[in-house]
Amino acid sequence: MPATLAQKLVARACGQTQVQPGQIVTCRVDLAMMHDSGGPRRLKPHLDALGVGVWDPERIVVVTDHFVPASDAGSRQIVQLARDWVREQGIRHFYDEQGICHVVTPRHGHLRPGLFAVGGDSHSCTGGAFGAYMFGIGATEMLGVVVTGEIWLRVPHTIAMDWHGRLGPGVCAKDMMLHLCTRFGMDGGQYEAIEFCGEAVRALSMNERMTVSNMTAELGGQVGLIAPDATTAAWLRGVGVPEAALQDLEQWHTDAAAPLLAHHRLDAAALAPQVSLPGSPAQAQEAGTLAGERLDIAYIGACTGAKLDDLRMAAQILRGRRTAAGVRLLVAPASAEDQRQAAAEGVLQVLQQAGAELLPSACGACAGYGAHTFAPDTTVISTTARNFTGRMGAASSRVFLGSPYTVAASAVTGHITDPRELLA
């Protein structure tokens, strides 16, 4: 029977030849990822009480990204607990202050097509960009996974987001997702599988595909899948994934006659740069309609806005320019490796010459942590995935969301700006 990519991935994980939407199955977990905030400090007390360890230390990835750099005694305790716990459990895949978990995990070759994975963070659906079934779970579910190596699942229906045409200059994956969140709402994904497909999606780089899959969380889906192709394989080879793991990629696709819950066709060529109003990603307008909004801070950071390609986008706008008087441009690269590559290419120097202040590679303001959260009555444009009231600092701060192009352009002019004006 024809099957969707989601059905094929779940069938493999539960050891069945076929599964149907709505069916309840128990899946074997190939990879469990967690960070310092929701991982060891939540799991250790229960594991100790049960007197058990983890089912397979080789299948667990731990990243410190929320409470780093540690700025107080409580943060230092949380991070130290993570360091001690991975040593205690024999977990080798530990990335300490190397960047954000959703970027660090694939950059170290832990994701590949066909895998079934879980993560202790809502944006774990980033893994779907690699043709892996990966979704976010809470600490209680993660406890069950690390003890048994299994988790139950309701087989999802699939909603296809089919983008035809090509994105224009100054328009990118972030604009696609802000548009989708606004058109369909933050529960538009109905906690089903969302598959992103079409010419425009196939043309995206892996960094851009990661942004699309990541923001499936804002769209209300469980997983955000993109069928693997030559672009996927080339990127994974570059991070050390063995060639044997990249064979037969054509099996991981949705069959032509597979049943879909919905099939939405969207025109990439007609999409303009988007900016979401403070309070929700699902309040996007075309950037040009908000030109009167003056800014205090332009923030380029987080897993949806500060990967290498994001930094390159910002540099395209900022090369030879300076930030406007009174505007602070803050840049927090998504990972240490992204920062190193940006420096090697000269991208980082372009940002700093434009006036950017370089912040640590960590979740930082996106998670409402650290010294650079937003003060009362501050107006910000940010590349983060979310802008809920009070999430990134004071409740009276106003946070708009945009792409790296848009945030960089707005930093130059001092007000929200359609980046195409500066690219022209």
CATH number, domain of 158, equals: 3.30.499.10
Domain count of the chain?
A: 2
Q: How confident is the model at residue 101 (pLDDT cuts 50, 70, 90)?
A: very high
- Does 292 score more than 90 pLDDT? no
Looking at the structure, tell me whether residues 30 and 155 fall in a common domain.
Answer: yes
Same domain, 263 and 278: no
Domain boundary among 267, 284, 310: 267
Q: Show the 3-state SS of the chain.
A: CCCCHHHHHHHHHHCCCCCCCCCEEEEECCEEEEECCCCHHHHHHHHHHHCCCCCCHHHEEEEECCCCCCCCHHHHHHHHHHHHHHHHHCCCCEEECCECHHHHHHHCCCCCCCCEEEECCHHHHHHHHHCCEEEECCHHHHHHHHHHCEEEEECCCEEEEEEECCCCCCCCHHHHHHHHHHHHCCCCCCCCEEEEECHHHHCCCHHHHHHHHHCHHHHCCCEEECCCCHHHHHHHHHCCCCHHHHCCHHHCCCCCCCCCCEEEEEEHHHCCCEEECCCCCCCEEEHHHHCCCECCEEEEECCCCCCHHHHHHHHHHHCCCCCCCCCEEEEECCEHHHHHHHHHHCHHHHHHHCCCEECCCCCHHHHCCCCCCECCCCEEEECCCCCCCCCCECCCCEEEECCHHHHHHHHHHCECCCCHHHHC
Q: Which residue among 267, 289, 305 closes a domain?
A: 267
Both 95 and 125 in one domain: the answer is: yes
Q: What pLDDT is recorded for position 348? A: 98
**pLDDT tens, 256-275?**
999 999 999 999 999 999 99
Q: What is the mean pLDDT of residues 291-316?
A: 97
Per the prediction, the chain carries an average pLDDT of 97
323: pLDDT strictly greater than 90: yes
User: Is the pLDDT score of 192 beyond 90?
Assistant: yes
Single out the residue in 267, 290, 322 at which a domain terminates.
267
Tens-place pLDDT, residues 341-373: 999 999 999 999 999 999 999 999 999 998 899
**Are both 279 and 247 inside the same structural domain?**
no
Residues 366, 251 share a domain: no
Instruction: Examine the domain organization and report whether 82 and 138 are in the same domain.
Output: yes
User: At residue 203, does pLDDT exceed 90?
Assistant: yes
Query: Is 279 in the same domain as 150?
Result: no
User: Does position 422 have pLDDT exceeding 90, yes or no?
Assistant: yes
Residue 158 and residue 40 in one domain: yes
Q: Where residue 307 falls among pLDDT bands split at 50, 70, 90?
A: very high
| Same domain as 322, residue 412 | yes
Percent of the chain exceeding pLDDT 90 equals 99
Q: Are residues 56 and 76 in the same domain?
A: yes
Predicted confidence at residue 371, as pLDDT, reads 87
- What's the confidence (pLDDT) of residue 254? 98
Judge if 282 and 364 occupy the same domain: yes
Residues 397-407: pLDDT tens digits? 999 999 999 99
Looking at residue 424, its pLDDT comes to 80
376: containing domain: 272-423
pLDDT band at residue 202 under the 50/70/90 scheme:
very high
- The reported pLDDT for the residue numbered 87 is 98
- Residue 94 binned pLDDT confidence (cut-offs 50, 70, 90): very high
In this predicted model, what pLDDT tens digit does every residue of 144-187 receive, in sequence order? Answer: 999 999 999 999 999 999 999 999 999 999 999 999 999 999 99
Domain match, 78 and 181 both: yes
Model confidence, pTM: 0.98
For residue 411, the model assigns a pLDDT of 98
